[in-house]
Chain A
Amino acid sequence: MAARLGGAIFVLWAVASITFFAVRLIPGDPAQAVLGGPGSQASPEALAAVRTEYGFDKPVLVQYLAQLGRLATGDLGRSYALNQDVGPLVLDQLGGTVLLAVLALALAWLLALALAAWSTRGGTVAARVGSGLEIVAAALPHFWLATSLIVVFSIWLGVLPPISTVGAAGLVLPVLTLAIPLAGFLGQILRESLLAALESPFVLSARARGESERGVLWTHALRHASLPAISLSGWAFGSLISGAVVVETIFARPGLGRTLLTAVTLRDVPVVIGVVMIVAVAYILMTLLTDAATRLVDPRLRSE
Chain B
Amino acid sequence: MTMTEPAAALTVHNLRVGFGADPVVRGVSFEIARGECLAIVGESGSGKSVTARSLLGLAGANARVGADQLELGGQTVLGLTDRAWRARRGKDVGLVLQDALVSLDPLRPIGREIADSLRLHTTLGAAARARRVLELLDAVGLPEPATQVQKLSGQLSGGERQRALIAAAIALDPPLLIADEPTTALDVTVQAQILALLEHITRAGTAVLLISHDLAVVSRIAHRVAVMHDGRMIETGRTEQVLGAPRHEQTQRMVAAIPADKPRGTRLSLSTRPRDAASPVSADSTVLANSTVLDDSTVSAASTVVLEAIGLSKSYRRPDGSRHLAVDDVSFALQRGSTLGIVGESGSGKTTTARLLLALLPPDRGAVRVFGEPWSAASEKTRRGLRPGVGAIYQDALGSFDPRWNVAEILTDALGLSPGLRQRRRAPQTTARLLTLLDEVGLAAAVLTRRPLELSGGQRQRVGIARALAGRPEILICDEPVSSLDVSVQAQVLDLLDDLQRERGLSLIFISHDLGVVQHVSDEIAVMRAGRVVESGPAARVFAAPQHPYSVQLLAAVPRLPA
Contacts and interface: CB of A to CB of B under 8 A. Distances in A.
B99 A208 contact: no
A206 B105 contact: yes
A214 to B, nearest CB: 11
A300 interface: yes
Interface in B66-90: 86-90
A82 interface: no
Nearest to B150: A299
B165 A297 contact: no
Nearest to A227: B107
A303 interface: yes
Nearest to A207: B58
Given A300-B107, A303-B155, A204 B97 contact: yes
A22 to B, nearest CB: 38
B281 interface: no
B469 interface: no
Contacts of A212: 86
B97 A300 contact: no
B117 A210 contact: yes
A201 B98 contact: yes
A202 B103 contact: yes
Contacts of B165: 205
Contact of B97 (A201, A219, A220): A201
B152 A300 contact: yes
Given A204-B58, A204-B95, A303-B155, A209 B120 contact: yes
B105 A210 contact: no
A209 B99 contact: no
A51 interface: no
A299 B104 contact: no
B175 interface: no
A303 B168 CA distance: 24
B102 interface: yes
A156 B159 CA distance: 67
B94 interface: yes
A211 B107 contact: no
A206 B56 CA distance: 12
B535 interface: no
- Per DSSP, chain A at the interface is helix
Contacts of B155: 303
Q: Which of A123, A202, A209, A300 has the most CB of B within 10 A?
A: A209
Interface residue range, chain B: 35 or more
B379 to A, nearest CB: 38
Contact of B107 (A207, A209, A299): A299
B174 to A, nearest CB: 10
B86 A210 contact: yes
A29 interface: no
A204 B103 contact: yes
Interface in A213-246: 215, 219-220, 223-224
B470 to A, nearest CB: 39
Contacts of B116: 206, 209, 211, 219
Interface string B47-74: 0000001001010010000000000000
A210 B104 contact: no
A201 B102 contact: yes
Contacts of A208: 56, 58, 89-90, 93-95, 169
Interface string B94-128: 11011100111111110001001100110000000
Contacts of B95: 204-205, 208
A112 B107 CA distance: 22
B213 interface: no
Contact of A205 (B61, B91, B93, B104): B104
Interface string A169-204: 000000000000000000000000000000011101
Contact of B88 (A204, A206, A210, A300): A210
19 contacts: A200-B102, A201-B99, A201-B103, A202-B102, A202-B104, A202-B106, A204-B95, A204-B97, A205-B95, A205-B97, A205-B165, A205-B168, A206-B105, A207-B89, A209-B90, A210-B120, A211-B86, A219-B105, A303-B152
The 5 lowest CB-CB distance pairs between A and B, nearest first, are: A208-B95, A210-B90, A209-B90, A210-B89, A201-B103
